């Protein structure tokens, strides 16, 4: 049985597109059950609608509180019989209650090698730190932002003359490979959140959690 995935977006949605494309493969272990956007004018939402995917636009400004918005998101996920949630450029901080409801079943992608450069402007943070290597991380969502158990990471070089824009474009290419791969690991039950880390199934090659693209 394929796992049913709800994708939460707020904007461009390129990671959502990568997950949708990956889920087209007959042997992919997950299917996209619903795309929910916190922003009714998100380009990613229009793309998903054009593809004929089930979509929901919930404008966060229409709700009196964070909790009320999160309850509405939760209700839509339940309605779509979602097993796993994938955050893909979802720009809302979630309430503790929502995070706890989906504990061990909700993933996020962040464009840095966590725990470095959490939060906003991770590409600029990487440039300011003069690191030679950055990348992206798929992790389970916990109440502390960008801090949950790490499912998989991809390393991406930082090159001379990079700007936040050029670095983010290079990392995005890796994100689009890493996220479908990490979601598949979780959907197959091969990567599970345990004791603050991620346990990989015995049959899975440890390399499944690492991507190191060539220069
Ligand atoms: C990506 O860089 C992702 O890692 C971060 O937000 C950005 C979203 O881009 N969380 P997109 O909407 O998936 O194109």
- Model confidence over 97-131: pLDDT tens digits? 999 999 999 999 999 999 999 999 999 999 999 99
CA distance 78 to 91: 21
Question: How far away, in angstroms, is 61 Cα from ligand 1 center?
Answer: 21
80 and 167 assigned to the same domain: no
Residue 80's domain comprises 1-102
- Model confidence over 65-103: pLDDT tens digits? 999 999 999 999 999 999 999 999 999 999 999 999 999
Q: What's the confidence (pLDDT) of residue 213?
A: 63
146 and 169 assigned to the same domain: yes
Confidence of residue 137 (pLDDT cuts 50, 70, 90): very high
Instruction: Give the H or E element holding residue 209.
Output: none
User: What's the burial of 157, exposed, middle or buried (CB within 10 Å: 0-12/13-18/19+)?
Assistant: middle
Least confident of 10-19, 133-142, 162-171, 191-200: 191-200
96 and 122 assigned to the same domain: no
Q: What's the confidence (pLDDT) of residue 92?
A: 95
Query: Which positions are catalytic?
Result: 110
Task: Say if residues 205 and 190 touch (Cβ distance below 8 Å).
Answer: no
Confidence of residue 195 (pLDDT cuts 50, 70, 90): confident
136 and 85 assigned to the same domain: no
Q: Which of 53, 86, 102 is the last residue of a domain?
A: 102
- Model confidence over 142-161: pLDDT tens digits? 999 999 999 999 999 999 99
pLDDT of 59 above 90: yes
| Percentage of the chain exceeding pLDDT 90 | 90
Q: What's the confidence (pLDDT) of residue 203?
A: 77
Token duo for residue 55: 């979509």
Query: Rounded mean pLDDT of 127-137?
Result: 97
- Model confidence over 9-45: pLDDT tens digits? 999 999 999 999 999 999 999 999 999 999 999 999 9
Bin 119: left if φ > 0, else alpha if -120 < ψ < 50, else beta. Answer: left
Show the ligand 1 pocket: residues with CB < 6 angstroms: 11-15, 44, 88-89, 109-111, 172, 175
Task: Count up the domains in the chain and report the number.
Answer: 2
Query: Rounded mean pLDDT of 158-182?
Result: 97
Task: Find residue 34's DSSP bridge partners.
Answer: 6
Residue whose CB lies within 8 A of the most ligand 1 atoms, among 111, 141, 146, 154, for a mutation test: 111
121 and 67 assigned to the same domain: no
Residue nearest to atom 7 of ligand 1 (CA): 89
pLDDT of 215 above 60: no
Q: Count the alpha carbons within 13 Å of 78 in the hemisphere toward its beta carbon.
A: 9
98 and 13 assigned to the same domain: yes
214 and 116 assigned to the same domain: yes
């Amino acid at each position: 049985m394929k796992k049913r995935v709800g994708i939460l977006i707020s904007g461009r949605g390129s990671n959502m597109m990568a997950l949708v494309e990956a889920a087209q493969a007959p042997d992919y272990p997950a299917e996209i059950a619903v795309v929910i956007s916190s922003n009714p004018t998100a380009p990613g939402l229009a793309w998903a609608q054009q593809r004929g995917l089930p979509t929901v636009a919930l404008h966060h400004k229409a709700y009196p509180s964070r909790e009320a918005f999160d309850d509405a998101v939760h209700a839509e996920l339940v309605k779509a019989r979602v097993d796993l949630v994938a955050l893909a450029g979802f720009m809302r901080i979630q309430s503790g209650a929502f995070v706890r409801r989906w504990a061990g079943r909700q993933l996020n992608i962040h464009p840095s090698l966590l725990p470095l450069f959490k939060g906003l402007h991770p590409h600029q943070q990487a440039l300011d730190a003069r690191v030679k290597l950055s990348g992206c991380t798929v992790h389970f969502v916990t109440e502390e932002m960008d801090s949950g158990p790490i499912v998989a990471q991809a390393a991406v070089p930082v090159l001379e003359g990079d700007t936040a824009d050029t670095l983010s474009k290079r990392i995005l290419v890796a994100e689009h490979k890493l996220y479908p791969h990490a979601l598949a690991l979780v959907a197959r039950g091969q990567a599970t959140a345990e004791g603050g880390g991620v346990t990989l199934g015995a049959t899975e090659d440890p390399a499944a959690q690492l991507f190191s693209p060539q220069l």
